[in-house]
Amino acid sequence: MQTSPDGASSPVSLEVEKTGYLAAAAREHWISVVSLILFLVIWELICRFEIIGPYQLVPPSEILGVFVDKLSEPNPDGALLQQHAWASLSLALAGFGAAVCIGVPLGLLMGWYKPVNLLVRPLFDAVRPIPPIAWIPIAILWLGIGMHAKAFIIFLAAFVPCVINSYTGIRLTNPVLIRVARIYGASNFETFRKIGVPSAIPMVFTGIKLSLNAAWTTLVAAELLAASQGLGYMIQLGRRLARPDIIIVGMLAIGLLGALMSWGLTRIEARFASSRRLS
Amino acid sequence: MIGRLGKRLMPAALTTGSLLAFVAFWQVVSLYTNPDFLPSPGRVWDEAVRLFHTPVGGKDILAHVGYSLRRVLTAYLWAILLGLPLGLCMGWNRTCEKIVSPIFELLRPIPPIAWIPIAILWLGVAEGSKVFICFVGSFVILVLNSYTGMRYVDPLLIDAARSFGASRRQQFFNVAVPACLPSIFAGLQNALSMAWMCVLAAELVGAREGVGFIIIQGMDLNRPPMILVGMILIGIVGSLLAASLRWAERALCPWRRELV
């Protein structure tokens, strides 16, 4: 017979099991902390013993210093970290915002109204297999190396997931609900607005999250190629100057801002979903 | 029989029709715009014919595609070899998860494209850095998908296997891994298209061969038709890669046929 605590049912042993679980959770937490510290220590040692030279990697202790310096020191790339971050953020959010405002309604309409689908589908199908990054050269030829080209590419990148997810979301509307609305005399538009759109909301949000991700990634690519400001420009210049510290600070800033934006979006989604549940 | 055949041909017919409609739309738009701005489909076709007969940057156009594909597939295979076991391990074993996840979570939000500068600093502008970028892109997706797939395996299945006396090893290989195959395959799909996008980005930043080089060359020479040929080529190769993977999925997980 097995004597595992899983099978225990008396209240006393349940208590024991609970504290045992907490202890296990604490132990597991420790493993994570130790693993992270070990990672940083190994990184530090690799640099200290110059297994990887200072022109390729700098230790984490210096990264922190560079990060703080970069907040008040525009050299060597000509702008403060927060200025680069702001340039990138405003561009990404502009492209992303436009893509959501156009892409979500378009996807919903395509999913609901056949003529819209027939009209837009060919354009969309032809453009979709080409990664947004492949548009960078032609966008630069069309719109120059300014803000417009980058905004256009970010828009393209963020647009596709918005449309696809809204389209799929509204196509998956439960047909029973649609028929109920029809039976009670709702017009097609009313059914679309009151049944189709709300039931597509979860999928729409998934699409918005995906498109934020795509916008941020594409922004970095666009700034690597053609920019005079922004985090992508900063890391690209770091490479030209062989300054790994600048590159790593830039990469961490990109990662942090990306994570923050997705976190914010998740919060908005949670609030939106809960307010809907109340009403 | 005819009905079934019709059902299978219908999507292909729709796609062809919509592509034709797109080309027609493009033709109409190009009639009313400056040809240096948006070349007509005919001019792009001529350019494609020219590019297939004259080398670009010393290499045949198909050789460029071959270079890009080789980079993508090398990185993809490495990502599968390292990423899938790691993800499955993290999903199966709590200790493994707790060791790897803090480091993984630290690096995950950084888009693979942001690794390009440091990869060039580490590995030079040659093959190494490009393969590395593609590897990073597909590795992260593969780990995430196999990990979540493993975490969402129905515990009932594992319990059933255990009560039939399966060893821990058998539970893992015969029950858990097949159960998360759908999630793994979704990861394989996404990882491949991510790798294809990453190779493009890496080649745009600096390369002497590859599909990214073709379009950047077109930009440098101010030849929109050449860029468009490159873009279409990229789209076609990307779609073919995705289609071949879908075919592999159908062959390897036949029980998912109704969903594909």
Work out how many CB contacts closer than 8 A connect A with B: 150
Res A163: pLDDT: 93
Contact B238 A130 (CB under 8 A): yes
- Chain A residues in contact with B234 by the CB 8 A cut-off are 130-131, 134
Kindly list the residues from chain B whose CB atom is less than 8 angstroms away from the CB atom of residue A137. 204, 215-216, 218-219, 227
Q: CA–CA separation, A240 vs A24, rounded Å?
A: 48
Mutate which of A114, A133, A254 to disrupt the B interface (most B C-beta within 10 Å)?
Answer: A133
The hierarchical CATH code for the domain A67-278 is: 1.10.3720.10
Chain B residues within an 8 Å CB radius of A136: 204
Q: Note whether A141 contacts B219, CB cutoff 8 Å.
A: yes
pLDDT on residue B150: 92
Write down the ipTM of this complex: 0.84
At the second CATH level, the architecture of B57-253 is Orthogonal Bundle (1.10)
Which of the pair, A10 or A243, is modelled with greater confidence?
Answer: A243
Find chain B residues with C-beta within 8 A of A29's C-beta.
98
For residue B260, the model assigns a pLDDT of 38
* pLDDT tens by residue, chain B, 260 residues: 455 666 667 777 777 887 888 888 888 888 888 877 888 888 889 989 888 888 887 788 889 999 999 999 999 999 999 999 999 999 998 888 888 988 998 888 999 999 999 999 888 888 899 999 999 999 999 999 999 999 888 889 999 999 999 898 899 998 898 888 888 988 999 999 999 999 999 999 888 888 999 999 988 888 889 999 999 999 999 999 999 988 888 887 766 554 43
- Cα–Cα nearest to A250, from A229, A274, A273, A276: A229
Q: To the nearest whole angstrom, how far is the Cα of A31 from the nearest Cα of chain B? A: 6
Query: Secondary structure of A140-169 in the HEC alphabet?
Result: HHHHCCCHHHHHHHHHHHHHHHHHHHHHHH
Residue A122 to residue B17, Cβ atoms within 8 A: yes
Residues of chain B contacting residue A254, judged by C-beta atoms under 8 Å apart: 110-111, 114
* Sequence-separated (6 or more) residues with CB below 8 Å from residue B101: A32, B90
Cβ distance B113 to A130 less than 8 Å, yes or no, reads no
Task: Look at residue A9 and tell me whether its pLDDT is greater than 80.
Answer: no
**How crowded is residue A150: how many other Cβ atoms within 10 Å of its Cβ?**
29
Q: Using alpha carbons, select from A167, A163, A252, A261 the residue that is nearest to residue A212.
A: A261
**Which band of pLDDT confidence, cut at 50, 70 and 90, is reported for residue A104?**
very high
pLDDT at B81: 96
Chain B residues within 8 A of A160 when measuring between CB atoms: none
Q: Are A68 and A130 in contact (CB under 8 A)?
A: no
* Tokens representing residue A162 in the block: 């918005």
Residues 6+ apart with CB under 8 A from B144: B87, B108, B187
Question: How many Å lie between the alpha carbon of A12 and the closest alpha carbon of chain B?
Answer: 26
> Which residues on B lie below 8 Å from A56 (Cβ)?
121-122
Q: What is the DSSP letter of A78?
A: T
Task: Inspect the interface and report whether the beta carbons of A28 and B94 lie closer than 8 Å.
Answer: yes
Separation in Å, CA of B252 to nearest CA in chain A: 25
Closest-CA distance, A86 to chain B, in angstroms, reads 17
Q: Which residue from B18, B98, B205 is facing A224, i.e. has the nearest CB? A: B205
Nearest to A126 among B22, B193, B200 (CB): B22
Cα–Cα distance between B231 and B251 in angstroms, integer? Answer: 31
Place of tokens 């979709």: A128
pLDDT, tens digit, for every residue of A155-192? 999 999 999 999 999 998 888 999 999 899 889 999 99
Is the pLDDT assigned to residue A3 strictly greater than 60?
A: no
Per-residue pLDDT reduced to its tens digit, A14-48: 444 555 666 767 777 888 888 889 999 999 888 88
- The pLDDT, as a whole number, for residue A22 is 66
Q: Which of A136, A142, A262 has the CB atom closest to B37's CB atom? A: A142
Contact between B105 and A256 (Cβ < 8 Å) = no
Chain A residue whose CA is closest to B239: A129
Domain-wise residue ranges, chain A: 5-51, 67-278
Find chain B residues with C-beta within 8 A of A222's C-beta: none
Q: Are B224 and B38 in contact (CB under 8 A)?
A: yes
| Tokens matching residue B17 | 């029709």
